[in-house]
Homo-oligomer: A and B are copies of this chain.
């Protein structure tokens, strides 16, 4: 519709319902959302909100909200919205994989609080392009993720959309009261740890996007995915680090802070720094990158470390530990110590393998860029 938001003068009903149609636009100014970016917009919109419920332990600003509904465990709530054409491309994303990934992305936020997910709700808006059979494939992926991660689908909403597919998933979980880990707990001297490897999902996406472009230019062509099963698998079917939370519990380790790596290592490190009031010193040599990702980065003429720092969608965990706990981590598989928390005044620095020091810059994903 060409008309934008005309009936602004419908006063709030308590003031009496005066309705003046089609007024000239008297908004004093128009600020584009892209100017603020996702996090700036959220900060601005939520600034007037002040939690007042005693059950709200932690609201906006971490991977999940933390609620105390009585009992021994805290309740965790996290939510994500996935929009076709923004977050996924059905040209190369099978619906079953999309369903699986949409669940995993949310569960990852619960694990990032050191919690255990237990339930999800799934809402979706769908255009009439989707048949019941296609949606059954989507839900088969959702079901497989529920089965693997042991969570129940307990609700949702289904409606039509004017265009494309929109998914909104909310994950609920619990955590023992003394085990919850926030972004805000990092202390100067803590060690920075990373699970798994970074950058592979981004490089998988680059392959899929390249082949899509070739296909669009020349329909009928068969894509050459170069047998890159690891990279493409990381993009299309990521897993959340349920195993790491179990390993922490088994080894009596409680990280001092934690976040899941969805937007790239640099962006997540900034979140921890901002919430904890600290800086970070990162060793390039400590950033785990899979050999396939390194090779593919070079093929795309990209710096592998940049892919790890800014690539996104890895769904690994970034966490900090008290240095006294180093022996609880040192021998655990798939955890890499990659740096140290420093005073905020020292900022965020990358120490390269070449021996140079670079200030880290945030290049997290900005949907509004």
Expressed in whole angstroms, the Cα–Cα distance for A64 and B51 within the complex equals 23
Cβ A81 vs Cβ B168 within 8 A: yes
Known: A19-B232, A155-B79. A132 touches B71 (CB 8 A): no
Known: A49-B146, A55-B174. A67 touches B22 (CB 8 A): no
Using Cβ atoms and an 8 Å threshold, which residues of chain B touch A22?
A: 215, 219-220, 222
The smallest beta-carbon distance between A87 and chain B, in angstroms, is 7
| CB of A48 within 8 Å of the partner chain | yes
Expressed in whole angstroms, the Cα–Cα distance for A220 and B21 within the complex equals 8
Expressed in whole angstroms, the Cα–Cα distance for A158 and B367 within the complex equals 9
Q: Mark A317-355, 1 if CB is under 8 A from B, else 0.
A: 000000000000000000000000000000000000000
Using Cβ atoms and an 8 Å threshold, which residues of chain B touch A150?
A: 52-53
Cβ B157 vs Cβ A81 within 8 A: yes
Q: Mark A178-221, 1 if CB is under 8 A from B, else 0.
A: 00000000000000000000000000000000010001000111
Expressed in whole angstroms, the Cα–Cα distance for A6 and B220 within the complex equals 12
Using Cβ atoms and an 8 Å threshold, which residues of chain B touch A79?
A: 121, 123, 155-157, 168, 170
The smallest beta-carbon distance between A21 and chain B, in angstroms, is 4
Residue from B8, B36, B95, B151 within 8 A of A5 (CB atoms): B95
Residue from B38, B118, B132 within 8 A of A33 (CB atoms): B132
| Closest chain B residue, CB of each to CB of A72 | B70
The smallest beta-carbon distance between A67 and chain B, in angstroms, is 6
What copy number does this chain have within its complex?
2
Expressed in whole angstroms, the Cα–Cα distance for A36 and B5 within the complex equals 34
| Closest chain B residue, CB of each to CB of A236 | B10
Using Cβ atoms and an 8 Å threshold, which residues of chain B touch A34?
A: 128
Cβ A135 vs Cβ B33 within 8 A: yes
| CB of A119 within 8 Å of the partner chain | yes
- A contact residues, total (Cβ < 8 Å): 126
Q: Mark A279-301, 1 if CB is under 8 A from B, else 0.
A: 00000000000000000000000
| Closest chain B residue, CB of each to CB of A142 | B49
Known: A32-B128, A65-B121, A367-B159. A152 touches B53 (CB 8 A): yes
| CB of A139 within 8 Å of the partner chain | yes
| CB of A250 within 8 Å of the partner chain | no
The interface stretch among A23-31, A241-249, A264-272, A303-311 is A23-31
Cβ B131 vs Cβ A33 within 8 A: yes
Expressed in whole angstroms, the Cα–Cα distance for A238 and B151 within the complex equals 34
Expressed in whole angstroms, the Cα–Cα distance for A83 and B153 within the complex equals 22
Using Cβ atoms and an 8 Å threshold, which residues of chain B touch A44?
A: 132, 136
Using Cβ atoms and an 8 Å threshold, which residues of chain B touch A211?
A: 21
Cβ B119 vs Cβ A81 within 8 A: no
Cβ A139 vs Cβ B31 within 8 A: no
Expressed in whole angstroms, the Cα–Cα distance for A52 and B152 within the complex equals 7
Expressed in whole angstroms, the Cα–Cα distance for A229 and B139 within the complex equals 44
- The B-contacting residues of A in range 87-116, CB under 8 angstroms, are 87, 90-97
Residue from B52, B123, B143 within 8 A of A81 (CB atoms): B123
Known: A35-B132, A160-B367. 4 other contacts (CB 8 A): A17-B233, A21-B222, A51-B153, A162-B164
Show 18 residue pairs from A and B whose CB-CB distance is below 8 angstroms, ordered by the A residue.
A12-B97, A22-B220, A22-B222, A27-B133, A30-B133, A33-B132, A35-B132, A42-B158, A56-B119, A59-B155, A67-B154, A69-B69, A70-B70, A79-B123, A80-B123, A121-B170, A161-B166, A166-B166
Closest 4 A-B residue pairs measured CB to CB?
A70-B71, A71-B71, A168-B168, A65-B154
